[in-house]
């Protein structure tokens, strides 16, 4: 049975992750970058100030909502989104890209992230603009809502928007068990066994219990945990990686040079054919980049839409920061720790080690920290992957809610928790292949929505820039729905 699933999934995966899909993903980012006038660069200082900078200067960003308020803070939404994106892709995914695509794959990972910033920005802007409150008083937003209420509101597009919304929800539901659950838990179990000799089943049972205590509490409990876990795990890993880079500082310039040379096959992967080297570097860099930051999948917008923010662009900027932190910072540090460790021939791009996945990064850490190196990576993967499971449990619950109603969410949460044990004992290759497939399937309807509604993103962005940066007086664009627009506008006036 597993062999049949693997074969079928392989066919679908090759179709979904072919060059056309990668072109669509990156092309959407390029288009939105041009449409917003390179917002991630032209307003770099502004979005950094109002994301990272605001954490330390604006109490409204981190102050918790009241108990009866079902929304979460902007900082909590970002942490939950980062919890879902900073996962095994930042360690296992990067090492796989180096192994199969060579150092040049990191360059293409950067390219995906640069343009992906504006794809993620656009998703979040649309998510806030088209969100509504459910029967529990929680904000519900995401690709399914802007497909149904945005694209579907256009003349002759009602049925198409509704169908695409349902398809996205189904694909997201399946992806939550793949990228958001089984592949993450599988990596944790494998590393716990390799580093500490803990049986996979034991790891699965413990994680199932811990996850259950958090997930069954809903988005506010998930956000409460992730806002504490994400900063700790990010600083923990960054300090460890920077230590390696400082120790191996003499190899930093050659490592960076190998990335640029490998990107254009000036040195082919493993000494292979130059044309094949370009294709491998580009394909693996893009695939692992998308897997890592999830820009274009329409996933993180579901938690960003739960924020208590009023301005769509404000949450959009958190989306830019999310991709920047995940790929430009964390993934780059992972790549540099491996490239500067001597485990990669910087001339040919070939990996001089039999280790794969997280074991390759663990070996790089072992060169500086000794036997503590693999243990460090095992703990990092535990934190990264477990936080991803928490974040994706919310994504899946929102997709389930869209399909079956808010009253049935508890059914999904129980199933999700049970699948944690399955993920701890299943084949690693199958878990990763399933993740790639469901990722790609999610992206198709989402990108259709983003591209179709790009004029809306442009108008909302221009409206915000005119009011907050140029100082012009004009009516804010806060919601597609008159009653929500009126409420948000009044709250905005009161806060100012």
Per-residue pLDDT of the chain in tens (496 residues, 90 and over written 9):
445 445 545 555 555 556 677 788 889 999 999 999 999 999 999 999 988 887 777 666 655 555 555 567 777 777 777 777 777 778 877 888 888 888 888 898 898 899 999 999 999 999 999 999 888 888 889 999 999 999 999 999 999 999 999 999 999 998 888 878 887 888 788 878 877 888 989 999 999 999 999 998 888 888 888 888 888 888 888 998 999 999 999 999 999 998 888 877 654 444 443 444 556 666 777 766 666 677 888 888 888 888 888 899 999 999 999 899 888 998 899 999 999 988 888 887 777 877 777 778 888 888 888 888 888 888 888 888 888 888 889 899 999 999 998 888 899 999 999 989 888 877 656 555 666 677 778 889 999 999 999 999 999 999 999 999 999 988 999 999 999 999 988 887 655 5
Two tokens, residue 359 = 């074991």
pLDDT of residue 374: 83
- Determine contact, residues 271/348, Cβ cutoff 8 Å: yes
Position 14 scores a pLDDT of: 57
Q: Which domains does the chain have, with CATH numbers?
A: 2-495 (1.10.4160)
How high is the pLDDT of residue 115? 93
Query: What are the Cα distances from residue 283, in Å, to 170, 213, 228?
Result: 26, 39, 35
Query: In angstroms, rounded to a whole number, what is the distance separating the alpha carbons of residues 327 and 332?
Result: 7
Residue among 399, 392, 393 at smallest CA distance from 165? 399
Question: Nearest Cα to 61, choosing from 74, 46, 52?
Answer: 74
Taking the C-alpha atoms of residue 4 and residue 120, their distance in angstroms, rounded to an integer, is: 35
State the burial class of residue 58 (Cβ atoms within 10 Å of its Cβ: 0-12, 13-18, 19+).
Answer: middle
Do 95 and 357 form a contact (C-beta atoms < 8 A)? yes
Judge contact between 69 and 252, C-beta under 8 A. Answer: no
Tokens coding 52: 């990272």
pLDDT of 273 = 39
* 455, 458, 464 from 31: Cα distances, Å: 11, 11, 20
How far separated are the first and last CA of the chain, in Å rounded? 61
Give the relative orientation of helices 332-339 and 92-101 as an angle to the nearest 10 degrees.
50
Q: Which of 256, 228, 226 is nearest to 333 (CA)?
A: 256
**Model pTM?**
0.88
Q: What pLDDT shows up at residue 166?
A: 96
Distance CA 100, CA 105 (A): 9
- pLDDT in the model for residue 144: 95
């Amino acid at each position: 049975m597993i062999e049949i699933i693997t074969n079928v999934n392989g066919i679908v995966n090759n179709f979904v992750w072919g060059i056309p899909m990668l072109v669509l993903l990156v092309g959407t980012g390029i288009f939105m970058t041009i449409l917003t006038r390179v917002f991630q660069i032209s307003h770099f200082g502004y979005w950094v100030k109002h994301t990272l900078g605001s954490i330390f200067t604006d109490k409204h960003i981190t102050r918790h909502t009241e108990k009866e308020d079902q929304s979460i803070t902007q900082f909590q939404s970002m942490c939950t989104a980062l919890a879902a994106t900073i996962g095994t892709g930042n360690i296992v995914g990067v090492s796989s890209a180096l192994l199969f695509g060579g150092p040049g794959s990191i360059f293409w990972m950067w390219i995906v992230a640069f343009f992906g910033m504006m794809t993620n920005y656009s998703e979040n802007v649309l998510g806030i603009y088209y969100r509504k409150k459910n029967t529990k008083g929680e904000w519900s937003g995401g690709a399914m809502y802007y497909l149904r209420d945005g694209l579907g509101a256009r003349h002759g597009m009602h049925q198409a928007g509704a169908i695409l919304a349902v398809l996205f929800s189904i694909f997201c539901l399946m992806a939550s068990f793949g990228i958001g659950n089984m592949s993450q838990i599988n990596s944790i179990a494998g590393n716990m066994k390799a580093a500490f000799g803990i049986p996979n089943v034991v790891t699965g049972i413990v994680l199932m219990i811990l996850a259950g205590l958090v997930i069954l509490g809903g988005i506010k409990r998930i956000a409460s945990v992730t806002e504490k876990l994400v900063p700790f795990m990010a600083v923990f890993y960054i300090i460890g990686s920077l230590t390696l880079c400082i120790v191996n500082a003499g190899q930093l310039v050659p490592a960076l040079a190998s990335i640029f040379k490998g990107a254009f096959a000036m040195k082919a992967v493993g000494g292979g054919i130059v044309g094949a080297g370009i294709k491998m570097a580009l394909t693996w860099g893009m695939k692992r980049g998308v897997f890592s930051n999830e820009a274009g999948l329409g996933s993180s917008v579901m938690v960003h839409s739960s924020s208590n923010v009023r301005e769509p662009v404000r949450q959009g900027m958190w989306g830019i920061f999310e991709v920047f932190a995940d790929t430009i910072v964390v993934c780059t540090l992972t790549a540099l720790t491996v490239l500067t460790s001597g485990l990669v021939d910087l001339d040919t791009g070939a990996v001089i080690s039999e280790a794969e996945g997280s074991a390759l990064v663990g070996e790089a850490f072992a060169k500086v920290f000794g036997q503590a190196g693999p243990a460090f990576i095992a703990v990092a993967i535990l934190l990264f992957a477990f936080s991803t499971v928490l974040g994706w449990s919310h994504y899946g619950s929102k997709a389930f809610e869209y399909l079956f109603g808010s009253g049935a969410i508890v059914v999904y949460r129980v199933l999700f928790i049970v699948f944690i044990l399955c993920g701890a004992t299943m084949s690693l290759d199958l878990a990763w292949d399933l993740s790639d497939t469901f990722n790609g399937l999610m992206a198709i309807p989402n990108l259709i929505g983003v591209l179709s509604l790009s004029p809306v993103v442009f108008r909302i962005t221009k409206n915000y820039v005119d009011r907050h940066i140029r100082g012009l007086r004009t009516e804010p664009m806060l919601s597609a729905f008159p009653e929500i627009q009126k409420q948000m506008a009044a709250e905005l006036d009161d806060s100012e």
